[in-house]
Amino acid sequence: MSERGNGAVLRIITLVLAFALGVMAAILYNRVGEKTRGVKVRYEDWAKLNIVLDEISRKYVDTVDYAAVTDAAVSAAMSALDPHSVYIPPVQLEASEEDLAGNFDGIGIQFNVPNDTAIVLEVIPGGPAEKVGLQTGDRILKVDDKVIAGVSFPQDDMVKLMKGPAGTKVRILVLRAGEQIPFDITRGRIPIRSVDASFMIDSETGYLRLTRFSRNTVTEFRKATASLSTAGMKRLIFDLRDNSGGYFDQAILLCEEFLPKDAEIVYLEGLHHPRENYTSSGKGSLKDMDLVVLINENSASSSEIFAGAIQDNDRGRLVGRRTYGKGLVQEPVYFTDGSGIRLTVARFYTPSGRCIQKPYSDDYAYDIYKRYASGEVFSRDSLHVDTTDVHKTLLGRTVYGGGGIVPDVFVPVDTTKATKFFIQCNKKATQMRFASRMFDRNRAEILKIKDFKGMDAFFASHPVLPAFRSFASSTDGIVAAEDEFRETAPYLEPQLKALVARYSQLGEDAFYKYYLPVDDVVEAALKEF
């Protein structure tokens, strides 16, 4: 919404509140100060609100924008409940629903903007963009008549230009190998992946990263783990870091892949919602698979249900940092104008009885910032645990409530590796722009690579460290002394390889495969096996 739009809504809310006070004053006293009979209302019902709205409708000095006043009133009412009970306008509701549903209408590409130009990172197989010939590495210059390259153009606005109803057309002008090429694309239905990456770390260890719980999550997960099992997987590192949650039923089905029959998964309960228990059917295919689950402060909702069930049943080890702490059952209510509300009706509890939801506070929205400020993410000693809220796992291990899921193995955020040179490069996104340049100069060779063996051979013949050092100096004026560069190299090199390899056909699998060697949480997970 624009600033002007926000101002209008604020004025409307102010008028509503001011008028509400005026109405109540008018009810109590007439114009000449003669005392009148007050209208009796109770806060247990909605009489006061109805009176105010009725008075506005009958007496307000100007024409009333009923839609704006209604939206303002609903938003204000929802904000008085809890931080997650919200009113969602039509446009926002559509965006949130399509993200959870696991698909959207568009052209089917993923892109990044390392400088001021969008670069295609992936062309989704079978999507409209692939069908007309868009390729990884293409620079997007224009969308229809709108120039988006070489100007300050927000990435979210780029997405809005390319998305649109299936069946509609859009023209994309790209720059490829120095030549401008137009593509007329008919938008279609594009699937959103839940599984971001899945590959073998070594001969026995599979790695799978799940970014959301959408309608397609379990189907994708089963397909990925079947492929890993065929490749020899005997143990799995399941990465739920930064997974913000999603559909509840998908979390239950995912738990069933690992838990034996009749194992408790989660229960939910609320004032108007009697206790409802969920247990495993025992039909999962990974009940005997060694398992380590990775979590962090951005793992929320359904990912916390999964983590809590695995921990309380002693089915696997949790490694990382305390999860977000969002354990609320949200019931959607939809309106015919395309808007809706999400109303909290119950809370989630792990099998041992821990409430996943963290306590509400005045600065609830800034909880993650508080964790960094207090040092919780840097040291387990700074982790606040409610020692009065004690629970036991299936095998008798002690776990604590208080909100979120505390891992079995804590791994802090490591700031010791960040040299001055590395920080300066991060500020200017030098690594990303270097990867883009390296791809441009080796486009044909990189696009032919189909496996990690081929990618390793490419890096053997194209060392990234000396090339990057030269690029940082000549392009951004960032120079590292010999000792500093030597200190930076061990964790800079995997990052550079990951960013370059992402342009190959291996996509996100390559990114995580090359980045994991400097991932302290993965290193700790491997030790747990």
Q: Is there a single domain that holds both residue 143 and residue 255?
A: no
Q: Is there a single domain that holds both residue 297 and residue 405?
A: yes
Q: Which is nearest to 105 in space by CA: 173, 192, 182, 174?
A: 192
pLDDT at 1: 40
Q: Note whether residue 87 is domain-resident.
A: no
Q: Note whether residue 449 is domain-resident.
A: yes
Q: What count of residues does the chain have?
A: 529
Q: What is the pLDDT of residues 456-504, one digit of tens each?
A: 999 999 999 999 999 999 999 999 999 999 999 999 999 999 999 999 9
Our count of domains for the chain comes to 4
CATH number at residue 182: 2.30.42.10
CATH number at residue 278: 3.90.226.10
pLDDT at 241: 97
Q: Note whether residue 252 is domain-resident.
A: yes
pLDDT at 90: 78
Q: Which is nearest to 74 in space by CA: 53, 47, 95, 100?
A: 53
The answer, yes or no, to whether residue 27 has pLDDT greater than 50, is: no
Annotated catalytic residue: which of 196, 239, 312, 509?
312
Q: Is there a single domain that holds both residue 306 and residue 167?
A: no
Q: Is there a single domain that holds both residue 334 and residue 186?
A: no
Q: Is there a single domain that holds both residue 466 and residue 406?
A: no
Region 281-310 average pLDDT: 96
pLDDT at 103: 62
Q: What is the pLDDT of residues 214-232, one digit of tens each?
A: 888 999 999 999 999 999 9
Region 106-125 average pLDDT: 85
Tokens of 476: 């951004």
The answer, yes or no, to whether residue 14 has pLDDT greater than 50, is: no
pLDDT at 97: 61
Annotated catalytic residue: which of 214, 299, 301, 302?
301
The answer, yes or no, to whether residue 367 has pLDDT greater than 60, is: yes
Q: Is there a single domain that holds both residue 279 and residue 171?
A: no
Q: Note whether residue 312 is domain-resident.
A: yes
Distances in Å between the alpha carbon of 478 and those of 174, 211, 261, 475? 31, 34, 59, 8
Query: Which of 132, 166, 191 is the last residue in one of the domains?
Result: 191
Q: Is there a single domain that holds both residue 270 and residue 362?
A: yes
Q: What is the pLDDT of residues 76-97, one digit of tens each?
A: 999 999 999 999 887 676 666 6
301 a catalytic residue: yes
Q: Is there a single domain that holds both residue 114 and residue 202?
A: no
Distances in Å between the alpha carbon of 83 and those of 271, 357, 359, 493? 18, 11, 11, 42
Confidence of residue 101 (pLDDT cuts 50, 70, 90): low
Name the average pLDDT for the chain. Answer: 87
The answer, yes or no, to whether residue 4 has pLDDT greater than 50, is: no
The answer, yes or no, to whether residue 427 has pLDDT greater than 90, is: no
Q: Note whether residue 92 is domain-resident.
A: no
pLDDT at 194: 92
Region 362-391 average pLDDT: 89
pLDDT at 29: 32
Angle CA(283)–CA(408)–CA(209) in degrees, nearest 5?
A: 55
Annotated catalytic residue: which of 326, 358, 497, 513?
326
The answer, yes or no, to whether residue 341 has pLDDT greater than 50, is: yes
211 and 197 Cβ atoms separated by less than 8 Å? no
The answer, yes or no, to whether residue 66 has pLDDT greater than 60, is: yes
Query: Which of 191, 214, 230 is the last residue in one of the domains?
Result: 191
Distances in Å between the alpha carbon of 4 and those of 69, 129, 186, 347, 354? 16, 37, 35, 38, 45
145 a catalytic residue: no
Q: Is there a single domain that holds both residue 287 and residue 332?
A: yes
Range(s) of the domain holding residue 493: 420-528
Q: What is the pLDDT of residues 51-63, one digit of tens each?
A: 888 999 999 999 9
The answer, yes or no, to whether residue 6 has pLDDT greater than 60, is: no
The answer, yes or no, to whether residue 166 has pLDDT greater than 60, is: yes
131 a catalytic residue: no
Confidence of residue 313 (pLDDT cuts 50, 70, 90): very high
121 and 108 Cβ atoms separated by less than 8 Å? no
Q: Is there a single domain that holds both residue 307 and residue 441?
A: no
Query: What whole-number distance in Å separates Cα of residue 376 and Cα of residue 373?
Result: 8
The answer, yes or no, to whether residue 524 has pLDDT greater than 90, is: yes
Q: Note whether residue 93 is domain-resident.
A: no
pLDDT at 100: 56
Number of DSSP helices (H) and strands (E) in the chain, helices first: 18, 21
Q: Which residue has the tokens 């249900």?
A: 305
Q: Note whether residue 278 is domain-resident.
A: yes
The answer, yes or no, to whether residue 354 has pLDDT greater than 90, is: yes
- Higher-confidence residue of 443 and 155: namely 443
Q: Is there a single domain that holds both residue 53 and residue 182?
A: no
Q: What is the pLDDT of residues 254-275, one digit of tens each?
A: 999 999 999 999 999 999 999 9
Q: Is there a single domain that holds both residue 401 and residue 428?
A: no
Which DSSP string do the residues of 126-185 spell out, in sequence order?
TSHHHHHT--TT-EEEEETTEE-SSS---HHHHHHHH---TT-EEEEEEEETTEEEEEEE
- Higher-confidence residue of 404 and 155: namely 404
Query: Which of 80, 95, 121 is the last residue in one of the domains?
Result: 80
Q: Note whether residue 97 is domain-resident.
A: no
What pTM was estimated for this model as a whole? 0.81
Confidence of residue 16 (pLDDT cuts 50, 70, 90): very low
